[in-house]
Chain A
Amino acid sequence: MDALRRTLLKGAGATGAIAAAIAAGVLKPSQVLAAEYNRAAFEAKDMAGALKNIGAASAADSTGIAIKAPDIAENGAVVPVDVSSSIPNTISLAVLVDKNPLPLSSAFDFANGALPEMALRLKMGQTSLVEVVAKTADGKYYKAKKEVKVTVGGCGG
């Protein structure tokens, strides 16, 4: 479980007391999760704020992160995105949408055999970059991006 505690999810507000409580077995990590919601990162209104609050302000560009997403989305309400990292010892991935009112969409930690990859579906208000941040076990951050165009739709389909 320690692997999961060192990751992107640990917001700026997480305190040593909570960590100590987990270590002492008083709190289960799953109970802490909700209390520890990284509000500062998820409520940041721009990319810089979101990146800073997940600790990734100085993430280096990397070709080891793959982002599979449509060049043009059929519908901005449901944009299928598949992300993965081939950077050794990747323990977390975060997905951000540059032009969304709140850019950070999700951050996931992987441990005990879970591969550093995930499929999800995003809302995108307009054409934007999708950025993915990877964190490795030694505390380094990497990022990659891909543009997704969002078009106006047709009729009822």
Chain B
Amino acid sequence: MKQRLGMLLAAAALTTSFAVHAQQSAKKAPPAAKAAAPANKSEVSKEFEKFREVLEEDNPAELYEAKGEDIWKNKKGPNGTSMAQCDLGLGAGVVKGAYVHMPRYFADVGQVMDAERRVVHCMIKYLGYSEADIRKQPFSNVNKTPDHVSVITYVAAQSRNMKIAAPQKHPKEIEAYNIGKEIFAYRAGPYDFSCASCHGEDGKRIRTQDLPNLRKPDEAIRAYQGWPGYRMTGGFMLTQQWRMNDCFRQQRFPEPSYLSDSITALLAYMTVTANGQTYKGPGIKR
């Protein structure tokens, strides 16, 4: 386990000494988050909640969903070919419900893939997108939302109102979950932070935002369905891979490379924790 974690972290451009620390750090209790909650926390949150529904009812994410559907169905990729052969885990070309059944083990590649990783894999394999181009700009910015982000939004939307059911049958699926759990609690970096510093206890907050405790199913779902989400700041779609990468940045860790094994493992941990909850995304975030 220790060795495997080391390999994954190395793949994520993290140092070997970092991995050596993992076992010890994971045993420590998570530190208190730096942001203390003020007395008026619940009132501000309640005010936000009142207008959440309004925002969710007409979510600009739908614009990207439509674009992703067009790319998936209408042979809009560089090769003019179709995604009909893309197997998201429920059979070739089946999109409905596939999103909430990932991450999962895919025999054709011999590894566990999260939804984003699988979609990108298919877009390269079946539509002719270039991996190098995708890696050049994996995440959206104010000028461009990459095609794969729209396709992921479409795939996610096709599981709306379905129960999350990430499988834990194949040994590699169980392994991914366990590695994710370990990375989640792993403290390091200049701030001696871990994912759990912010997301491992109830009632944490950064400024006006409540932070979900990702160890609990009813809170893990909040993080899970937030992304892919329409980010109001800037006005574009961001994905789960982006969110996880950005957590590394915010902890002042080196950022994993796009679609790294570490992020798939973290997503496996978060998704399996949320299993049984109903997916209501794609999200809209502040």
- The short answer to whether A and B are in direct contact, CB under 8 Å, is yes
Which of chain A's residues have a CB closer than 8 A to the CB of B235? Answer: 77-78
**Residue A147 interfacial (CB < 8 Å):** no
**Residue B111 interfacial (CB < 8 Å):** no
**Residue A74 interfacial (CB < 8 Å):** yes
Given A70-B50, A75-B233, A80-B55, decide whether A157 and B226 contact each other with a Cβ distance below 8 A: yes
**Residue A17 interfacial (CB < 8 Å):** no
Residue of B nearest to A156 (CB): B246
Residue of B nearest to A79 (CB): B51
Are A153 and B286 interface neighbours, CB within 8 A? Answer: yes
Interface band, chain A: 10 to 19
Residue of A nearest to B35 (CB): A154
How far, in Å, is B81 (CB) from chain A's closest CB?
35
Are B206 and A155 interface neighbours, CB within 8 A? Answer: yes
Are B206 and A154 interface neighbours, CB within 8 A? Answer: yes
What is the CA–CA distance of A78 and B232 in the complex, to the nearest angstrom? 6
Are A154 and B286 interface neighbours, CB within 8 A? Answer: yes
How far, in Å, is B185 (CB) from chain A's closest CB?
20
Q: Number of B residues whose C-beta is below 8 Å from A?
A: 27
**Residue B28 interfacial (CB < 8 Å):** no
Are B207 and A157 interface neighbours, CB within 8 A? Answer: no
What is the CA–CA distance of A153 and B234 in the complex, to the nearest angstrom? 13
Which residues between 201 and 246 of chain B lie within 8 Å of chain A, taking CB atoms?
Answer: 205-209, 226, 229, 231-235, 238, 243, 246
Which of chain B's residues have a CB closer than 8 A to the CB of A77? Answer: 232-235
What is the CA–CA distance of A36 and B205 in the complex, to the nearest angstrom? 49
Which of chain B's residues have a CB closer than 8 A to the CB of A74? Answer: 48, 51-52, 55, 208, 232, 286
Which of chain A's residues have a CB closer than 8 A to the CB of B234? Answer: 77
What is the CA–CA distance of A152 and B206 in the complex, to the nearest angstrom? 11
Return 25 A-B CB contacts under 8 Å, by A number: A70-B48, A70-B51, A72-B44, A74-B52, A74-B208, A74-B232, A74-B286, A75-B232, A77-B232, A78-B232, A119-B54, A151-B207, A153-B207, A153-B286, A154-B205, A155-B206, A155-B246, A155-B250, A156-B238, A156-B247, A156-B250, A157-B209, A157-B226, A157-B229, A157-B285
User: A: which residues have CB within 8 A of B?
Assistant: 70-72, 74-75, 77-78, 80, 82, 119, 151-157
